[in-house]
């Protein structure tokens, strides 16, 4: 009987420790969100921009971001929105993605101006704020109201600061 009580005590102890660990993990991870959004895009420099020009940001809701389709979609956006200006890809630009609850996620562009980021988000968030910046350039900002989509395509054109 004593051996059986020891076994029950050990099993109870293991169970309680497991419950405590699971509770702790749930509490720690819950602050990171209950879903993910996908954000991908490209940042460009507006070459020979007019003296009073400001940057441009195009934020588009898409059904999903698959890496093979990103470049095609970006090229279509650039052709339809920015074909009248000369632009070049801009590396090392910083993209900040935030929400009204203060959560922030950041990513930098690669050597071809591209980026992709998966950000945790709570389902109660209704609006996302984007800021694209790089030292020596005017920053651009934009907002998107969430309408169910969790995938966003961002094309930003930055303008050099004028002396």
CATH assignment at residue 129: 2.60.40.10
Average pLDDT over residues 71-100: 81
Residue 112: count of CB within 10 angstroms of its CB = 12
Q: Give yes or no: residues 125 and 100 share one domain.
A: yes
Q: Is 148 found in the same domain as 95?
A: yes
Q: Are both 12 and 59 inside the same structural domain?
A: no
**Torsion angles phi and psi, residue 67, rounded to 5:** -55, -30
Give mean pLDDT, residues 97-124: 79
Is the CB of residue 146 less than 8 Å from the CB of residue 128?
yes
* pTM, rounded to two decimals: 0.71
- Asked if 2 and 77 sit in the same domain, the reply is no
Q: Can you give the residue range of the structural domain that contains 66?
A: 35-160
- Looking at the structure of the chain, the number of domains it has is 2
Whether residues 72 and 129 share a domain: the answer is yes
Q: Which residue in 87, 51, 54, 85 sits closest to 162, CA to CA?
A: 51
Are 17 and 41 within one domain?
Answer: no
- Quick one: 117 and 132 in the same domain? yes
Query: 78 and 17, same structural domain?
Result: no
Same domain membership, residue 127 and residue 69: yes
Per-residue pLDDT of 114-159, as tens digits, reads 888 887 766 666 777 889 999 999 999 988 776 666 778 888 999 9
Q: Are residues 10 and 79 in the same domain?
A: no
**6 with 67, same domain?**
no
In this prediction, residue 143 carries a pLDDT of 85
162 by DSSP, 3-state: which?
coil
Residues 61 and 90 in one domain: yes
């Amino acid at each position: 009987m004593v051996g059986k009580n020891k076994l029950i005590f050990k099993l109870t102890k293991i169970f309680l420790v497991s419950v405590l660990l699971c509770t702790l993990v749930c509490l720690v991870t819950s602050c990171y969100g209950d879903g993910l959004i996908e954000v991908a895009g490209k940042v460009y420099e507006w070459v020979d921009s007019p003296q009073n020009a400001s940057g441009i940001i195009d934020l588009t809701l898409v059904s999903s971001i698959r890496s093979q389709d990103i470049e095609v979609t970006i090229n279509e956006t650039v052709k339809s929105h920015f074909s009248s200006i000369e632009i070049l890809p801009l590396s090392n630009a910083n993209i900040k993605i935030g929400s009204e609850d203060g959560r922030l996620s950041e990513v930098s562009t690669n050597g071809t101006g591209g980026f992709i980021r998966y950000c945790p988000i709570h389902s109660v968030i209704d609006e996302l704020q984007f800021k694209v910046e790089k030292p020596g350039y005017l920053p651009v900002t934009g907002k998107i109201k969430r309408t169910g989509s969790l995938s966003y395509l961002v094309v930003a054109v930055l303008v050099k600061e004028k002396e």
